[in-house]
Amino acid sequence: MTNPSHTLDVQQFINQHRFSRYQWGILVTCFLLIAIDAYDSVAIGFVVPVLVREWGLTKAAFGPVLSVGVLGLALGALIAGPLFHRTSPKAVIVGSMLLFGVCSLGTMTASSLLSLGAWRFFTGIGVGAAVPGAVTLMYEYAPQRMSAFLVNLIAVGALVGASACGLTAAAAVPAHGWTSIFLIGGVFPIALALFMLATMPQPLQFMVLKGYPSTTIAAVLRRIAPTANVADDTRFMLPAAPEGGKAGVAVVLSRRLRMGTAMLWSAYFFGTFAYYLLLGWLPTLVQDMGASLQNSTLITVLLTVGGIFGTFVFGWLMDRFDKNTVIACAFVLGGLGVWLVGQQKGDLGWVAMCVFVGGIGLSGALMSMGALAASFYPASGRSTGISWMHGVGRFGGIVGPMAGALMLRDGFSLGTVFTVVMGFVLMSAVALLVKGAAARRAAGEVLRTESA
């Protein structure tokens, strides 16, 4: 006799079972995906000082090249949002990784600002499309009690990838030239894309929303909990969402979520403005303080190394306290660290320490934004919400390096540059505090309505 058909909430199933070896495999794969993405997206910043000398150009001339890569990140994320629903997250992830792997190899052939910018633009599109899919995949296989920590854990891959790129640049560029960075950045994503195509599942809640065969969903759940009794004829469901059948953009811009969406976009915009300005120009600014090329590169790496620690801590705190307040405080810490960098007078030890503190706050906060967005949106709008937060917010990363180029061109002092950056970081904190206040008001209105 077979068990009669019954209903099963897939999120409750995940919550009730231990984190399995199968879920660990998803976590490791998503971690590697984000690490490789970050490696490719930041690589150009570490070779600018070399190209300035080899090509005989000014530092400011590379501002548009740094910005066009971030434009690709933004457009890739905006395009990916609808594609996640119209095709599948797995298809978008694999296709985008193949795209930026090939384009990273193509960057090795660049011989001018125009060709360099073109390759970085299409690399950015691939990177921007892949990251939101990885966040969605991890969040939908994570128990709620540790979802923010696990999503932040894979986000640390971005900091590891960026740090690895800096270390590779310090070791490989003097010996093998600037193209060696992009050779590594092209081979690895292509190999990982093929591995994911063969082994990774679709996001769990996506399969339920799209009406995948119950046998397919049941097989995945049995891999998570082999001892669970999950029949092939089970009817799977999701936690109830108040959007009344809406999906995608309609959920993201719905009346209930509109203010939170605007504040998420604002916080990510201001944060990426600061982060990409620093990532693009910090090696050059630190060299202006008297550091060598190698030391300036290693100090810049501390911006991401500090974020590794911050991301773990903030993920743990987000699962226990108000998520908006935790990340707002992280941005405040980052702003303080960035400001202190500009107050140093050539003491490279203190510069390195302040960059590290700024990285804990700023990098850690930005790496936590994916978990914040994933928890804010329901399954019907999650992938679009994460993608569009990245897409809209990353326009700040386009403006940031260009603003840095303008400030350098106009002779701004180092203290002024870092004070401007701090101001944008603090605006991210304000946006998240506004988002938290709006969420509390909305919750109060719901309670009053239900009471009435």
**pTM for this one?**
0.80
Per-residue pLDDT tens digits for 202-225:
888 888 888 888 888 888 888 888
User: According to the model, what pLDDT value does residue 4 have?
Assistant: 45
The one-character DSSP state at 202 is P
Q: Which one has a higher pLDDT value, 285 or 269?
A: 269
Using pLDDT thresholds of 50, 70 and 90, give the confidence band for residue 260: confident
Per-residue pLDDT tens digits for 264-276:
999 999 998 998 8
Residues 147/371, Cβ–Cβ less than 8 Å: yes
Region 387-393 average pLDDT: 87
Q: Quick check: 450 pLDDT over 60?
A: no
Q: Between the CA of residue 429 and those of 263, 338, 436, 440, what are the distances in Å? A: 10, 14, 11, 17
Two structure tokens written together for 389: 């937060």
Domain presence at residue 2: no
Domain presence at residue 312: yes
Domain presence at residue 108: yes
Q: Between the CA of residue 323 and those of 76, 133, 207, 362, 384, what are the distances in Å? A: 27, 21, 27, 16, 20
Q: Closest by alpha carbon to 134, among 378, 313, 390, 327?
A: 390
Calpha distance 322→223 (Å, rounded): 33
> Above pLDDT 70, what percent of the chain?
92
Residues 299/286, Cβ–Cβ less than 8 Å: yes
DSSP character string of 171-190: HHHHHH-THHHHHHHHHHHH
Q: Give the other-Cβ count within 10 Å of 138's Cβ.
A: 28
Using pLDDT thresholds of 50, 70 and 90, give the confidence band for residue 424: very high
58: left (phi over 0), alpha (psi -120 to 50) or beta: beta
State in Å, rounded, how far the first CA of the chain is from the last one: 49
User: According to the model, what pLDDT value does residue 86 have?
Assistant: 79
Query: Which H or E run includes 327?
Result: helix 323-341
Per-residue pLDDT tens digits for 65-114:
877 887 888 888 888 888 887 788 888 999 999 998 999 898 888 888 88
Mean pLDDT of the chain: 83
Q: Quick check: 243 pLDDT over 60?
A: no
Per-residue pLDDT tens digits for 30-68:
999 999 888 887 788 788 778 877 787 777 777 778 778
> Above pLDDT 90, what percent of the chain?
19
Calpha distance 384→359 (Å, rounded): 28
User: According to the model, what pLDDT value does residue 153 have?
Assistant: 92
Domain presence at residue 448: no
Domain presence at residue 451: no
User: According to the model, what pLDDT value does residue 277 have?
Assistant: 86
Domain presence at residue 228: yes
Domain count, the chain: 1
449 Cα distance to chain centroid: 37
User: According to the model, what pLDDT value does residue 448 have?
Assistant: 58
User: According to the model, what pLDDT value does residue 2 have?
Assistant: 40
Which range, of 3-12, 31-40, 360-369, averages the lowest pLDDT? 3-12
Geometric angle at alpha carbon 70, from 279 and 275, rounded to 5° = 30
User: b/e per residue, 393-415, with b = 16+ CB within 10 A?
Assistant: bbbbbbbbbbbbbebbeeeeebe
User: According to the model, what pLDDT value does residue 240 have?
Assistant: 60
Task: Name, in order, each residue with C-beta under 8 angstroms of 77's C-beta and a sequence gap of 6 or more.
Answer: 128, 129, 131, 132, 387, 388, 390, 391, 394
Calpha distance 32→34 (Å, rounded): 5
Q: HSE of 20 in the Cβ direction (CA atoms, 13 Å)?
A: 17
The domain spanning residue 127 has which CATH number?
A: 1.20.1250.20
Q: Quick check: 231 pLDDT over 90?
A: no
Residues 41/369, Cβ–Cβ less than 8 Å: no
3-state SS of the chain: helix, strand, coil percent to 5?
80, 0, 20
Provide the strand spans (E) within 31-180: none
Domain presence at residue 434: yes
Calpha distance 311→309 (Å, rounded): 6
110: left (phi over 0), alpha (psi -120 to 50) or beta: beta
Residues 79/383, Cβ–Cβ less than 8 Å: no
Per-residue pLDDT tens digits for 438-447:
777 766 655 5
Q: Which domain holds residue 136?
A: 9-238+246-443
Q: Which residues pair with 8 in a beta bridge?
A: 236
Domain presence at residue 129: yes
Q: Quick check: 290 pLDDT over 70?
A: no
Q: Quick check: 174 pLDDT over 70?
A: yes
